[in-house]
Every structure is written in structure tokens, then in C-alpha cells.
Amino acid sequence: MDKFYVSVGWRKLRGYKLSTHPFCERCLPFLVAATEVHHIKEVKTHPGLSLEYHNLESLCKSCHSSHTAKTHRMKKGRIINHKWK
């Protein structure tokens, strides 16, 4: 696991985000408990935003998993853009 995700700064910010936004921000208006904190702009590509509150999104496990899988597929070029006529 990346050292960042076990750091005191990340654990505190993650806890604060979940306490201020306890519901999944993608499932709204349905109230689904958020259990994950997602970086909108990735830590790898935007390390300066890794501890910025405005770069975080509270998500449920399902939304976070779906987003992560889609991102990985896009990076591998597996997403095909179809143009329907």
C-alpha cells in the first residue's frame, strides 16, 4: 500500500470528509452511506492536491469500485466510443 494512504494527514482528512459528507455524493438524492473517499484528481498526477478537501468526494463502495474500474479500462484503451446515428 502506498505510504500516503497510511499517513496521519490522510487519515485525519479522510475522517473529516466522511464526517462532513456521510452519504455517497453520486447516489444522491438517495441516502447511501459513504465508506470511501475518492480523489477527484489522482494523487499520482496531482500530488499537490492530495490533501485538499475540495479534491475529495465521499462515495459508497459500489460507486468507488465502478469509477475505479472504468478509469482503469479507459487507461488501458478498453473504452470504445460508439457513434450512434
Domain membership of residue 33 (yes or no) is yes
Number of domains in the chain: 1
Question: How many Å is the maximal CA-CA distance in the chain?
Answer: 52
Domain membership of residue 84 (yes or no) is no
Domain membership of residue 82 (yes or no) is no
Domain membership of residue 62 (yes or no) is yes
Sheet strands (E) in 1-85: 36-39, 56-59
Domain membership of residue 26 (yes or no) is yes
Domain membership of residue 57 (yes or no) is yes
Supply the range of the domain harboring residue 46: 3-75
10-42 pLDDT, tens digit per residue, is: 999 999 999 999 999 999 999 999 999 999 999
Domain membership of residue 25 (yes or no) is yes
pTM of the full structure: 0.80
Q: Cα–Cα distance between 64 and 8 in angstroms, integer?
A: 22
Rounded alpha-carbon distances, angstroms, from residue 29 to 10, 11, 52, 60, 80: 28, 27, 25, 13, 30
43-57 pLDDT, tens digit per residue, is: 999 999 999 999 999
Domain membership of residue 70 (yes or no) is yes
